[in-house]
Chains A and B, each alone.
Chain A
Amino acid sequence: MHPAISIIFFTTASGAGYGLLVLLAWGALVGHLGSQTGFGIASFVVAIGLVGAGLLSSLGHLGHPERAWRALTQWRSSWLSREGVMAILTFLPALAFAWSWVVAGEVSKLAAALTIVGALVTTVCTAMIYASLKPIRAWRNPWTVPVYLTLGFYTGALLAALLLHVYGLRGPFVTFLIAVVGLVATALKIGYWMFLDGGRSASTAETATGLGSIGKVKMLDPPHTESNYLLKEMGYRVARKHARKLRLFVLLVGFGLPILLSFLAVQGSDAVAIAGSLLAVASGGLGVVVERWLFFAEARHTVTLYYGSSTA
């Protein structure tokens, strides 16, 4: 599948934003958030900014962005519609939570709890857009939703550590969380890649054409001599030959290095802590962007069975 930059940015940025919101709201619920006005304002600007920027970026993918409001109407059947509705609804408790903490000085636990629910449900909806697509085995499997949730939480935790350090606060718990969630993400991605390499779609060139009873089906002549939308959108194959190296990059730069940097950061002075966690955010962010790029680039669509692939 063609990896559109707008969608990669949307899913990674909004995932990190929701992850950060969940952590902040969780901190509020267990009573760890003090009256840190600066930290509070900065955290919400980053979290809501990432979610908002992600949503705006997703509009860039549309042929008619001015009609985007229509996407809020079909929540009964469409995960994309549900995602849009939940993203907008989640702004309400998130802003109420931000107001109660930063301005009113007393955290509303109800708003914090609703923020967690909204952020998690929205992330699940985003993942389900992909996990519900039957023609794409790389997406329609039990790994997609946990990976989206875990990576959102992980990148949110990396951001939370940076924000804490910038405001002179120390959160050993967040460092611990980064390590645990980072290791879970590593395990999930390795499991996902084993799943991806270990099988193929039940659909083959034989089932796609129904000619399997005659024998093996091979393409003789393509239907057109030039490329078309289907081949550009669904037949994308640039990344696959580099997939092994890129997967290793994701594990090392996306998870290994940020975990290491996070532990180093909490050992040092304030300056070291800021520098370490900033590098961890950059490294983890780059790794997750490459992960999302691979998620698209490695995915095969059954339409390629009509264009010379024997399996999908």
Chain B
Amino acid sequence: MTDLPTTGAKKLGLVIDLDICVGCHACAVNCKEWNDGGHSAPLTDLDPYGKDVSGVWFNRVHSFEAGDHECGRTVHFPRSCLHCETPDCVTVCPTGASYKREEDGIVLVNPDTCIGCKLCSWACPYGAREFDEADGVMKKCTLCIDRIYNETLDEIDRVPACVSTCPVSARHFGDLGDPESKVSKLVAERGGYDLMPEMGYKPVNRYLPPRTPKRQGAAALKPSEQVEAKGFLAWLDRMLSR
């Protein structure tokens, strides 16, 4: 049923640290790699070697500039499904193919019952869903449901592919419904926030803001032009100025 489940205690999700993401796209590439053989496989690429390349990805890394001049920042911004608590992508689904799991809050699409009407992708403000033209069904991030519960993997690998591959540990996975979890503490400590809270979808995934630089303001960043020379340098300055 596309009715939302009564919210369970467990809310699995990601915490993404925008302060240290270097924009290398490794998370997006490993996501594509794993999920091309995972729950929603394949992640079709159309015309992959032609002129009009397009394909399904669950994770896209944008790069933004925030602020101007010396206070401006370049921020790399990975964007994927936020596994919202009240997602309209689930309730608009006419078939029940789009659903939110009661036990851990993961939002999934059943590829066997999806009719490919695309309405869920219209209902998602975040662009988390991409239609697979070849399969005729909607696809989205599964939070690597086939990794996180996979007992054939070593325990250390039972995290989403994007988290396991991040070379700077900018991505964290855990239970955001448990205030004592590592991810919840990280969010509390760093002021983690929701994207587009005004939409009212209550995203589970959180983003950690870039830290404020220690040196602030224009003065600190100007080259030092007027330095008084002393001793031997002062003598040299006098000689050369003749």
Q: Give the interface of A toward B (CB within 8 A).
A: 1, 61-65, 67-68, 70-74, 76-81, 84, 129, 132-136, 202-203, 205, 207-224, 226-230, 232-234, 301-303, 306-307
A184–B94 Cα gap in the complex (Å)? Answer: 33
Stretch among B33-41, B125-133, B145-153, B160-168 lining the A interface: B125-133
A65–B123 Cα gap in the complex (Å)? Answer: 21
Q: List 6 A-B contacts (CB under 8 A).
A: A64-B116, A70-B95, A133-B92, A135-B123, A221-B62, A222-B62
CB atoms of A63 and B115 under 8 A apart: yes
CB atoms of B126 and A71 under 8 A apart: no
- Residue B225 interfacial (CB < 8 Å): no
* Residues of chain B lying within 8 A (CB to CB) of residue A61: 117-118
CB atoms of B71 and A220 under 8 A apart: no
Chain A nearest CB from B137 CB (Å) reads 6
A214–B116 Cα gap in the complex (Å)? Answer: 39
* Residues of chain A lying within 8 A (CB to CB) of residue B126: 208, 302-303, 306
CB atoms of A223 and B114 under 8 A apart: no
Q: Give the interface of B toward A (CB within 8 A).
A: 1-4, 18, 23, 28, 52-57, 60-68, 71-75, 77, 79, 88, 90-97, 113-119, 121-127, 130-133, 135-138, 193-201, 207, 209-210
* 9 interchain residue pairs of minimum CB distance: A63-B116, A215-B67, A63-B136, A303-B127, A71-B94, A81-B94, A223-B60, A221-B63, A70-B95
A219–B75 Cα gap in the complex (Å)? Answer: 10
* Residues of chain A lying within 8 A (CB to CB) of residue B123: 133-135
* Residues of chain A lying within 8 A (CB to CB) of residue B65: 217-220
Of the candidates B64, B92, B130, which one forms a contact with A209 in the assembled complex, judged by CB atoms under 8 Å apart? B64
CB atoms of B209 and A213 under 8 A apart: yes
A302–B198 Cα gap in the complex (Å)? Answer: 12
CB atoms of B125 and A302 under 8 A apart: yes
Chain A nearest CB from B46 CB (Å) reads 10
A221–B63 Cα gap in the complex (Å)? Answer: 5
A231–B232 Cα gap in the complex (Å)? Answer: 65
A233–B123 Cα gap in the complex (Å)? Answer: 12
* Residues of chain A lying within 8 A (CB to CB) of residue B52: 226-227
CB atoms of B94 and A70 under 8 A apart: yes
A210–B197 Cα gap in the complex (Å)? Answer: 9
Q: In the complex, given contacts A224-B60, A306-B79, what are 20 additional A-B residue pairs having Cβ atoms less than 8 angstroms apart?
A: A63-B117, A67-B113, A70-B94, A71-B115, A74-B1, A77-B1, A77-B3, A129-B92, A129-B119, A132-B92, A211-B73, A214-B72, A215-B66, A217-B66, A219-B62, A224-B57, A226-B54, A233-B118, A301-B125, A306-B77
